[in-house]
Amino acid sequence: MSFSVTNLAPAMVGPCEPTPSASLPLSPIDRAPGMRRLIDLFLVFGPAQDPAKVVREALSRALVSYYPVAGRFAVSDSGELAVACTGDGIWFVEASANCSLKDVNNLERPFMIPKEELIPCLPPQVKQDDVFLMLQVTQFRCGGYAVGVRFNHAIFDGVGVAQFLKAIAELARGLAQPTVEPIWCRESIPDPPKLLPQGPPPVFQPLALEQSILDVSQDRIDQIKNQFTSETGQKCSKFDVVSAMVWHCRTRAINLEPQVDVHLAFPVNTRRLLQEVLPKEEGYYGNCVYPMAVTAPSEKIENASIVEIVSLIREAKESVPARFSRWVKGDPKEGPRMVPLEYGSFCVTDWSQVGFYEVDFGWGGPIQVAPLTEDDLIPWCIAPVPCSKRGVRLLLRCVLKEHLEAFHHQMMSLV
């Protein structure tokens, strides 16, 4: 049997009440190169009663307080990218699958339904880059459902879009207002000096990366954390441990020349570092990400212990507050640590603190949350993701096919 999804009622959904008309600025982080792009993910839930209707009505209510999300991109008087609060709305699709979630293994990878059928697609007459958010609610024959999300990174970061989804979910559960009031306030973020690009813009070739999923036991993570504390007298996080493990194993598997630099990149949430300029309460849903990186010769990472690599990651993380402060005060040398878009670079993103697993439309939180964006300009890993076993799950697109077996062998020797 082939499994498929049928779209039932695609439409633009706007705020259910009149909202302000205004032109709002984006922050310099929102406007950074590469941010104006769509990020795809889905959340899978258990049985529910008419979830598409419930989510759609709650969405329309949420757009009253989150009215900029119903707008469109514009250009400010100063020539910068901005938001026109037009109230045009966001694209919403109700869909139905011809199978149960069990039939398709709860949408675990490898997907038994094409991922393109689980996320909303705009009609040809609507420009994809102009819509800030799209949602698709697909109900399965078992009563379970999936919420496919496409969001524009120039409007939200991960924490921001999770905040918006949680607001919709609270209204779906019957709350009169979201518990966290949204804050725009993008103009408050300092505009650091811009470095003029040298020469023509670079051209990047996507890498043919292989998808893989690996589980790491909590016992192994705890063992490394205890070893790190024993050797250094300091503490480290689960993210530090799994990042070090994967970077070490990946570097060994791809086997670059010993003196070639390898790079580990990871985004740092800087909301707490912007307390002097942002309101004290929660609610800011714009981009608050400062890319950080660790660079070292390939042979150093290949030969280092996991504890030594964790120390490198900890040192980089601990340097962020001072670096970020100097950057926003005008020092261009302290700008985000951007790594080359090449095979020797590797990016790890922490989803455990973003908030997607707290989204509950009234029938319980998600069974799983999964990214759908296959951005192969740089090898990447999302970690740690909760899994059914005691431990964490890693979602990876980090090696070429010819290095996949060696990478898995290296990881199995550690986990």
Buried b (16+ CB within 10 A) or exposed e, 268-299: bbbeebbeeebeeeebbbbbbbbebbbbbbbe
Q: What is the DSSP string of 276-334?
A: TTS-SSS-B-S--EEEEEEEEEHHHHHHS-HHHHHHHHHHHHHHHHHHHHHHHTT-GGG
Residue 159 backbone dihedrals phi, psi, to 5 degrees? -65, -40
Question: Out of 191, 215, 261, 360, which one is annotated catalytic?
Answer: 360
What residue type is assigned to position 278 of the chain?
L
Q: Residue 65's CB: how many other CB atoms inside 10 A?
A: 20
Residue 225 CA to residue 222 CA, distance in Å, equals 5
Question: Out of 30, 40, 153, 263, which one is annotated catalytic?
Answer: 153
φ/ψ region of 283 (left if φ > 0, alpha if ψ in -120 to 50, else beta) reads: left
The HSE-up count of residue 47 (CA atoms within 13 Å, CB side) is 5
408 counts as catalytic: no
Contact 159, 288 (CB under 8 A): yes
Angle at 382 between CA 219 and CA 7, to 5 degrees: 125
Q: What is the CA radius of gyration of the chain?
A: 22
What percent of the residues of the chain are helix, what percent strand, and what percent coil, each to the nearest 5? 30, 25, 45
Token match 């980089």: residue? 316
Contact 321, 281 (CB under 8 A): no
- Of the candidates 141, 147, 150, 146, the residue with the CA atom closest to the CA atom of residue 3: 141
Number of residues that this document lists for the chain: 415
Residue 102 backbone dihedrals phi, psi, to 5 degrees? -60, -40
Q: Residue 379's CB: how many other CB atoms inside 10 A?
A: 25
191 counts as catalytic: no
Strands 133-139 and 90-97: parallel
Cα distance between the two ends of the chain: 37
> Looking at the annotation, which residues are catalytic?
153, 360
